[in-house]
Structure formats: C-alpha cells, structure tokens
C-alpha cells in the first residue's frame, strides 16, 4: 500500500481556454488563439478551434458534479484574460465576473480546494496586435489583470498561480511555430521570457499586497535534461538545456535572480533583453510561496551538431540537440517517452537546490489518440491510464519518503479538453467527452481516481 501524507491533495488541472468555449453574447474578447484559428484553421487538428472546446461555460453546473464523483479534493483551472477584460486593459466584462464567481462558489460549496491560474497561453489579441509579450505594456497590463482578479475573487480563492509553463509560449511561439505569433527570433524569445518573468513577479507583489494571507506560485514544467552519454560535451549540452528550459523561470521565481551561467550565455549571443535595475529588484523581492510542477516526459539531449560561432537564427540548436534514446519505454498512443523516475529526480533537485520549497505536482497525464476503441459497454476501459498514474505515484511516494516537500497530485485532466493545434487528437481526461453531442461519461480511471483519493493512496 502506497499511503500519502495526511492532507495530501488529489485532483486535476484544466484551463479556461481549453474547456470553456464561447457562447453568443458572452462578452468574451478575441484571444491570440481565436485569431490564429480565424486566420489559419488548417493548422488545427480536424479544423477544430477554441470556439467550442468542452462547453464548460455553458454546462459548468453539471460538469462540477463530476469533480465530486471523481473524488477531487482540489481543482485547478484558469481565468481567461480575454473573457474578463476583453481588450486586455480597461473595461471588465460583468458576465465573466458572474460566471467565475458562480463557478468558484459551487466548487467551494463541495469542499474542494480551489486553485486558480491567471495565464494559460491565452493573450487578448488586442495586446498581441501591439507586440504581445515583446512589449513591456503587456507586462503592466498583466499586473493590472492579476490585481483585478485578486480584488474580484479574493474572497473565494486564496491560492493562485501566475503562469502555466511560461517557457512553452517562448519556445513554441518564438523559436517554433506551435503557438502564435510563430516567429523564429532568438532575441525576441529572450525578451518575451524576461517580460513574462517580470509580469509574474509583479503579480506576486500585487497578491501579497492586496491579500497578505493568500499564497501565490508559478507552474513550471521542470523537465530534467538527461545527457546521451557521460562525455563532457553531452553533459554540457544537458546543463545548458536545463538552464534554458527549467532554470530560466525556476531560479528567478524561487531565488529572485537568474543563473549567472545563463546570463553569460545570452550575453555572448548578444541577446540580452531590455531591462532596468528597478525591474530586477521587483524580481528579487517578489518570489513565490510554493511551486507548481508539471511533468510528462524527460528531455534527452546531446551535444549540438552545430559547432561554429553562435548563429542566432538557430536559437537553442546552438547549444544542444534532442536525442531519442533507443529502447525507451513509450506511450504507443501518443508517441511520448514514459520515464517515471523523472518525478523523483525533480523532487530531489528541489530538495537539494531550492531549499526544499513546498510544491504540488500540478500536471501529469497520459494522452491517447483514438481512445474510443477502448470503450466497452459504454465506458472507456483506460487501465493504461490507471497504470500510468500508479507508476508515477510510486516515484512520487519514494521522493516524499526521501524528504520531498510535495503536498498534492493533480492529473491532466478533468474532462477531455481541447489542446491547441492538436485540438481533440489526444484524450487525457478522467471523463470522456463526446465531441458531437457534448455528452460526458466517466471513464474507468474516474472511478479508480475516487478510490485513490478516498484511500489517500493505493
């Protein structure tokens, strides 16, 4: 029996843009995703955009009952900036205020610990038109949006997150083409990363000032970077990969400053962001109260094939190449490596290098394409998901036994949700969504998760 500490939290995470959908007359403004789908629907799997998603906005009263049925003691979603403040700044949408307050009150009434995230890859398009996260105006707009949320909902929510996986829009939107604006610009990527961190720190300051008894964090995908070999070149590649992809937000969020080696690397590439000493003081003096940690798969890297002078057009490929490890354990329905020990390694890194700060595993999950083929007698028999969770929880349990300061486990996700360019290609939920009828049905894992929560272990 794997028993977890008393008070350990069990639940799931989702986000506003991936679950709410858009209803006629709801007052929601256009986000970067709404705009991109309008301009290039062919980029989205099966042409499914963010307009419908899982209709939580329309059906939340019934959907919230599934939280109870699946044994939740905690739940995390996000407030859509473009729903609450349609232009990003200025007028607040009162329909959104009423919607979110009713949602939060209903979840609280069930005795479920509510955790609220402020940004999950969704920027009001009115701000994107002005340069998005490359523009410092967006930083101040986010600070004001965060303060508005603390003031409007602070009586219902006392645990907050600033950003979910803030490195992802940097990599996917400025070093790749998976998020809008899909431009390859290393220097812009660095500026966007810095501006995002500054915005996060400003939100932390606002939270502590407005509600001193509230707690606030950031959610980071702290994927360990494993080198291909013990060669100095591969080890260096792994160290630099971790600097960019984990420590670029982890260190300033927890320690209040950037790693010196990372700063030097960026300086050598002539890519330092525009910053002021006053901004660095804001980052230094407004660190998080705890951490949210997402983990899905390991990052395996090797020495870069590019060995000449820094080529800014290459971006991160100057420093490391990805490596596919032969014989790896894999999720055949999604194509991702499964490496449970990654959770243990993250936990030990936090314990040894970040003062064992309190943290929650805010996302972990198994995506499955074509999951309907596992349906028997009207229910998806997702034993593979149950096994996936169990095997990761064994590593989390081992980490806690060895002193990790982890206080909860949150699966991605609650109800099958829309997922960016992949739309509904891969399903992650404890509850199945029929995309045509919007009918929602518990999967086998949903019943199992309730037992897990009630037993505080398995």
Q: What is the 3-state secondary structure (H, E, C) of 33-91?
A: HHHHHHHCHHHCHHHCCCCCCCCHHHHHHHHHHHHHHCCCCEEEEECCHHHHCCCCCCC
Here the tokens at position 180 are 């809008």
pLDDT at 284: 98
CA distance 456 to 458: 7
Provide CB contacts within 8 A for 299, sequence distance 6+: 223, 224, 225, 226, 241, 242, 245, 322
What six digits make up the tokens of 279?
């901004």
- Whether residue 312 has pLDDT greater than 90: no
Give the pLDDT score at 24: 93
pLDDT digits (tens, 9 = 90+) for 90-99: 999 999 999 9
| Cis before 413 (ω within 30) | yes
Residue of 239, 98, 216, 106 whose CA lies nearest to 162: 216
Per DSSP, 301 falls in state: E
Q: Which of 171, 242, 340, 363 is catalytic?
A: 363
DSSP 172: H
The verdict on pTM exceeding 0.85 is: yes
pLDDT of residue 308 exceeding 90, the answer is no
Residue 221 pLDDT greater than 90, yes or no? yes
Q: Which residues contact 9 (CB under 8 A, 6 or more apart)?
A: 73, 74, 113, 360, 407, 408, 409, 410
DSSP-derived secondary structure for 199-217: HHHHHHHHHHHH-TT-EEE
Rounded mean pLDDT, 248-269? 97
First to last CA, the chain: 6
Beta strands 431-433 and 74-78 are unpaired
Residue 309 has pLDDT above 90, yes or no: no
What are the structural domain ranges in the chain?
A: 9-455
Backbone angles phi, psi at 406, to 5 degrees: -95, 135
Distances (CA, A) of 91 to 27, 56, 64, 94, 98: 11, 24, 29, 9, 15
- In tens, the pLDDT along 223-247 reads 899 999 999 999 999 999 999 999 9
Q: What is the rounded distance in angstroms from the CA atom of residue 131 to the CA atom of residue 136?
A: 9
Say what the pLDDT of residue 335 is: 86
- Arithmetic mean of pLDDT, 206-235: 97
Structural contact between residues 23 and 57, judged by C-beta atoms closer than 8 angstroms: yes
What confidence tens digit (pLDDT) does each residue in 315-351 have? 999 999 999 999 999 999 888 999 999 999 999 999 9
pLDDT band, residue 52 (cuts 50/70/90): confident
Give the pLDDT of residue 301: 97
Burial class of 419 by CB neighbour count within 10 A (0 to 12, 13 to 18, 19+): buried
Contact 172, 113 (CB under 8 A): no
Tens-digit pLDDT profile for residues 190-201: 999 999 999 999
**Which among 327, 215, 206, 205 has a CA at the least distance from the CA of 256?**
205
Instruction: For 9-455, give the CATH class.
Output: alpha beta
Summary mean pLDDT of the chain? 96
- What whole-number distance in Å separates Cα of residue 458 and Cα of residue 451? 8
Distance CA 262, CA 252 (A): 12
| Structural contact between residues 124 and 88, judged by C-beta atoms closer than 8 angstroms | yes
The packing angle between helices 136-153 and 94-109, to 10°, is 50
**Of 134, 165, 205, 371, which is the active-site residue?**
165
pLDDT reported for residue 314: 85
Measured CA to CA, the distance from residue 51 to residue 47 in angstroms comes to 11
pLDDT (0 to 100) of residue 74? 98
Mean pLDDT of 158-171: 97
- 165 is an active site residue: yes
pLDDT tens, 345-404? 999 999 999 999 999 999 999 999 999 999 999 999 999 999 999 999 999 999 999 999
pLDDT value, residue 422: 96
- 100-153 pLDDT, tens digit per residue, is 999 999 999 999 999 999 999 999 999 999 999 999 999 999 999 999 999 999
**Is a pLDDT exceeding 90 seen at residue 156?**
yes
């Amino acid at each position: 029996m794997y028993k977890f500490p008393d008070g350990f939290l069990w639940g799931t995470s989702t986000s506003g843009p991936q679950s709410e959908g858009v209803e006629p007359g709801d007052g929601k403004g256009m986000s970067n995703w709404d705009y991109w789908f309008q301009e290039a629907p062919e980029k989205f799997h099966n042409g499914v955009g963010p307009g419908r998603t899982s209709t939580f906005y329309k059906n939340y009263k019934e959907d919230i009952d599934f939280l109870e049925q699946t044994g939740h003691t905690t739940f995390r979603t996000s407030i859509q900036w473009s729903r609450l403040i349609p232009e990003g700044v200025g007028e607040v949408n009162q329909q959104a205020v009423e919607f979110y307050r009713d949602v939060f009150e209903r979840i609280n009434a069930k005795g479920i610990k509510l955790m609220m995230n402020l940004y999950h890859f969704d920027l009001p398009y009115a701000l994107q038109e002005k340069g998005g996260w490359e523009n410092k105006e967006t930083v101040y707009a986010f600070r004001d949006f965060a303060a508005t949320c603390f003031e409007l909902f602070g009586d219902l929510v006392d645990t907050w997150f600033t950003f979910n996986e803030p490195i992802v829009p940097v990599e996917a939107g400025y070093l790749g083409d998976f998020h809008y604006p899909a431009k390859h610009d290393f220097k812009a990527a660095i500026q966007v990363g810095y501006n995002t961190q500054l915005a996060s720190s400003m939100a932390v300051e606002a939270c502590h000032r407005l509600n001193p008894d509230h707690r606030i964090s950031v959610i980071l995908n702290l994927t360990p970077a494993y080198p291909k070999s013990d060669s100095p070149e591969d080890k260096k590649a792994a160290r630099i990969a971790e600097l960019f992809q984990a420590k670029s937000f982890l260190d300033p969020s927890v320690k209040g400053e950037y790693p010196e080696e990372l700063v030097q690397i960026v300086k050598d590439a002539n890519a330092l962001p525009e910053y002021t000493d006053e901004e660095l003081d804001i980052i230094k003096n407004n660190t998080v109260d705890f951490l949210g940690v997402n983990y899905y798969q390991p990052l395996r890297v090797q020495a870069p094939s590019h060995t000449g002078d820094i080529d800014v057009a290459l971006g991160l490929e100057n420093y490391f190449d990805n490596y596919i490890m032969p014989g790896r354990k894999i999720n055949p329905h999604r194509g991702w490596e499964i490496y449970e020990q990654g959770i243990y390694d993250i936990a030990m890194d936090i314990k040894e290098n970040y003062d064992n700060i309190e943290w929650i595993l805010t996302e972990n999950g198994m995506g499955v394409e074509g999951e309907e083929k596992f349906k028997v007698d009207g229910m998806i028999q997702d034993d593979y998901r149950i096994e996936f969770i169990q095997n990761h929880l064994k590593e989390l349990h081992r980490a806690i036994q060895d002193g990790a300061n982890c206080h909860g486990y949150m699966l991605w996700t609650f109800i099958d949700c829309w997922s960016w360019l992949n739309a509904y290609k891969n399903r992650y939920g404890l509850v199945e969504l029929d995309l045509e009828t919007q009918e929602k049905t518990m999967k086998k894992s949903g019943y199992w998760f309730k037992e897990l929560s009630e037993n505080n272990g398995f």
